[in-house]
Chains A and B, each alone.
Chain A
Amino acid sequence: MVHRAYIGIGSNLGRRVANVERAFAAIGELGTLLAKSSIYRSDPWGKVDQPWFANAVALLQTALSPRDLLEALQAAEQRLGRTPGERWGPRVIDLDLLLYDELDIDETSLRVPHPHLRERGFVLVPLAQIDARFAALRDALPESEARSVSPLGESDSAMPIRENDSIAERVRALARFLADGDAVRVRITRPDDDIEVALRAAEPIASRREADRAPTKTAAPRVDTIKADLVGIFHASRPAPAEGDTFEGDRELGYIEALGIRTPVHSMGGGRLVSISAIDGTAVEYGQPLFAVAR
């Protein structure tokens, strides 16, 4: 019996594009690779102070059952360098079984279609590229989510260096360029010499994609802390939010006033307000916890 499965690929460690290419090859070994999307660059989800992701989707024709396929993908993740033991830890490569024929599976550790399929730009954009049936879902993405995903060119990128930069500033610029880019080969041209350096994959560094990796089937509700992301004076909404308030969708809980501009504080979706640490009319600093919301 031959089945068709869509597999999502993600990497935000080491040489990301190369990691995705290796993942395509590993997936191909589990059957026949029928299609692969372009590689996209997507902004990190949740915590934003971490590296961008390289994402892609592959369409595989395979004889493996859903559970056998899942195990084979997990084995491939291990082989491609995911650190064992760190369940929600950083990923050199992350392989997700998105769809398997028309099956609807809801078992422990195996859910198909993938639960986040409809919300995530980094899944839907590449998926719609290789299967037009998903174009409508892609087009229904919120603008911010759609905008966070862009095609990744394979062209050379130049590192901007100013003439008057000291060597230290140039080295720092190079370090930033390497940290942020996905270069596999760097050519440094100077008046008297040319240096070409081939790079290998970097060691994994701590980084995680918390929001997306959080367990979805555990019993305890997730509690999100809503923090101030600027320095200013906090003002509560009227009527003032109270502990125990529940709300269906997003709710504006107050605003932070700074330099004459009011920046709203949102509940970031529905839930129950379990604690309030913000005091109306007082100064708040960056990162100060304001509310806790149970989802």
Chain B
Amino acid sequence: MFRKVLIANRGEIALRINRACQELGVATVAIFSEADRDSLHVRQADEAFCVGPGPAGRSYLNIPNIISTALITRCDAIHPGYGFLAENARFAEICSDHGLTFIGPKPSVIALMGDKATAKRVVSEAGVATTPGSDVLASPEEAQSVARSIGYPVLLKATAGGGGRGMRVVRDAAEMQRAYAGATAEAEASFKDGRLYIEKLIVAPRHIEVQVLGDDFGNLVHLGERDCSVQKPSHQKVIEETPAPNLPARARTALHDMALRASRYVGYTNAGTLEFLVAGDEVYFMEMNTRIQVEHPVTEMVYNIDLVKEQIRIAAGESLGYAQRDLAARGHAIECRINAEDPQNHFAPAAGMVSKVVFPGGPGIRVDTHLYAGATIPPYYDSMVAKVVAFGDTREVAIARMERALRETLIEGVSTTVGLCLDILSTPEFRDGRYDIELLLKEPTPR
């Protein structure tokens, strides 16, 4: 096991990693920006070093200062958390060049799965379904024939594309001629390259992801799925739950199998998440996140496994010590992300001083947060300030506990998304467990 780990992150995830290290008897070094000097992760770590000014580009992304801190304090490993440097293959390589273990997958795997197009190609080699589509099209007639075989609606996209230019939604064959001409002309004008290809447009899908864990000895398991379909218009997740409600058994099996198949194919180690679009019982691979996820606690609740500790153990060269057949999920868990932002004002981030904080407790409730009364929320970083997680033997119990917990929650000084989460929990779509990624695009249903 490592003697000392540098935590290259801030906020609740830095605290989360610090907790795992403390329980494993591993010393910790926090890094922080000048704006985070009074932050909780700085106080709770064994040592702390300021690595730069407020803007993340000069502090939490300042690779030379972070590596220098790790070397000076004689760390043996760096945990990147999520965001910042977590999926930076170059950073993972630099760590290993300096004799530091990067707690995550191998740099080559980060690089491979970091590029969406490459990742899709690679997993399809492993027999995993990706969004159906075509190569470069020769004519509108060919486009019609491809679209007929994969089914409308489809997206026409420019191969040289970017910024939505040369892209058209085509709903039926009659629209194809005109859309093709328009898209190719636009692509020609924008990129001097009018070539087009087709991709199936998945309408109102669910966004479901699968957690995997792999060690250096070839052991690989999945830890079920998480339904992350409650998303803001910006695709930021708001509420996640596991297991995914009303998921056809065939789709669930396909998700878990595909996640294992793709991970095994690329030789994945450590914790990772494969994101899929699900429409009915059709499942399409979207992308892989080669790191711990924000919403990992819901999986921890139903599997009774500490994923961050597992990450550290695996990186230290230990074996998983269990196989798929040893794992069973129990109960239902839901996470609500509490952001310091104003849902009434297009989710504009709110910075400022938190004057009063009361977090919920009681049976089945877990809160991961770095807030405290008097804490300042700097304007430079992600607006998430807390994660409230509710566990119950059934989904109904978990929802009831979450509603109770959110009503107990009091955060004064900044606007938060607590009210938004309560509103979502009360919609008939959420209560029935029949929602997709368009839930927050619809008119809000009054409570």
Contacts and interface: CB of A to CB of B under 8 A. Distances in A.
Interface stretch (B47-55, B145-153, B327-335): B47-55
A191 B164 contact: yes
B162 interface: yes
B61 to A, nearest CB: 13
Contact of B34 (A164, A171, A287): A287
List 5 tightest A-B contacts by C-beta distance, closest first.
A168-B234, A258-B68, A163-B162, A285-B50, A231-B65
A162 B164 CA distance: 10
A128 interface: no
B234 A161 contact: no
Interface string B88-106: 0000000000100000000
Given A167-B234, A189-B163, A286-B51, A259 B64 contact: yes
A283 B162 contact: no
B34 A163 contact: no
Interface string B35-70: 000000000000001111111001100101111110
Interface of B: 34, 49-55, 58-59, 62, 64-69, 71-73, 98, 116, 161-165, 167-168, 233-236
Given A163-B162, A167-B233, A288 B50 contact: yes
A215 B137 CA distance: 69
A68 interface: no
A121 interface: no
Contacts of B98: 259
A231 B49 contact: yes
Contacts of B49: 231, 283, 285-286
A168 B236 contact: yes
Query: B interface, by DSSP: helix, strand, loop or mixed?
Result: mixed
A48 to B, nearest CB: 9
A229 to B, nearest CB: 9
Given A231-B69, A285-B69, 6 more contacts: A49-B55, A161-B162, A168-B236, A286-B51, A286-B59, A287-B50
A61 to B, nearest CB: 45
9 contacts: A49-B58, A166-B235, A230-B64, A232-B68, A259-B64, A285-B50, A286-B52, A287-B50, A287-B53
A231 B233 CA distance: 40
B116 A171 contact: no
B320 to A, nearest CB: 33
A168 B347 CA distance: 10
